[in-house]
Amino acid sequence: MSSLDALKQSTVVVADTGNFKQLAKYAPRDATTNPSLILKAVQHPDYAHLLHETVEAHRGEPMDLVVDQVLVRFGVEILKVVPGRVSTEVDARLSFDTAATIARAQRIIDLYDAAGVARDRVLIKIASTWEGIQAARALEHEGIHCNLTLLFSFCQAVACGEAGVTLISPFVGRIYDWYKKQAGAAWDEQAMAGVNDPGVRSVTRIYEYYKHFGIETEVMGASFRNVGQILALAGCDLLTISPELLEQLQSMDQPVVRRLDPAAARAASVKAVSYNEASFRYALNEDAMATEKLAEGIRLFAADAGKLEALIQAA
């Protein structure tokens, strides 16, 4: 048994890519996309026709609608390969506008519906700002399932659980990046690996909190830098993994030990916390890593959304 197959014994494996022709090889249940992954995919020769066909079919329509048509076109193709769900992201430039995020999410779901895709096969990705979390709360009440992304802090996770979102994507690798950069020459890679990795510790704390208090929101670790981070989170509800790391796991035969266990989390000593808008904003502000990484992530996704628009205009 490969390490990938062993991991699947305790965790749902999700592919983090817009390159759907790679997916069958790894047999993930779900797939996630974001503006950066779609931008990369549409520039690949195998997928360029999807961009051109979609743009031609919707020429003259507003740019934001054409972008959503492109995102949904990729999502539809992905769902032909995976048996589960695809995550499609709302424009990051709407991250601080609750009403606009809700409207954009509703439109994406309508586009999937027009393509014959049931809404339970789609997760709407929204940045874990206060405004994004409140948008997700409203959308979940409409039966539109959400994946709260760019999640770096415990307060974001707690607020998402309180909002009843379907799934969160805490970012392991970007947390690791921040702490490694802060430590500089003092960083000890070996000592900070595996369960000691700061990104792994963050996801573990969130997972234990959710399971201890019976919060139904699914935890999907994301943004991995190496297979060690992935294996240290074996047992997490889901893990979304790049094709490069999926390939490594498939080529390995290292046994996989379950690290996260709901029974152990329920038995742990965990203190309940709650956030309103003011306390959420203060807690996030107190976490320099989360504040910086959330802002940086929104800027990067927004920049790639702009690049995708430029490609559409040139098509």
Structure confidence by residue, pLDDT tens digits, 244-255:
999 999 999 999
**113 C-beta neighbours (distance < 10 Å), count:** 13
Catalytic machinery residues: 125
The answer, yes or no, to whether residue 236 has pLDDT greater than 90, is yes
User: All domains of the chain, ordered by start, with CATH?
Assistant: 3-314 (3.20.20.70)
Sorted by sequence, the CB contacts under 8 Å of residue 33 that are 6+ apart come out as: 17, 18, 71, 74, 75, 78, 86, 87, 88, 89, 125
The Cα 137–Cα 93 span in angstroms is 19
DSSP code per residue over 102-116:
HHHHHHHHHHHHHTT
Residue with tokens 């549409």: 42
DSSP code per residue over 25-49:
HH--SEEE--HHHHHHHHTSTTTHH
- pLDDT tier for residue 213 given thresholds of 50, 70 and 90: very high
The answer, yes or no, to whether residue 35 has pLDDT greater than 90, is no
The answer, yes or no, to whether residue 315 has pLDDT greater than 90, is no
pLDDT at position 228 is: 98
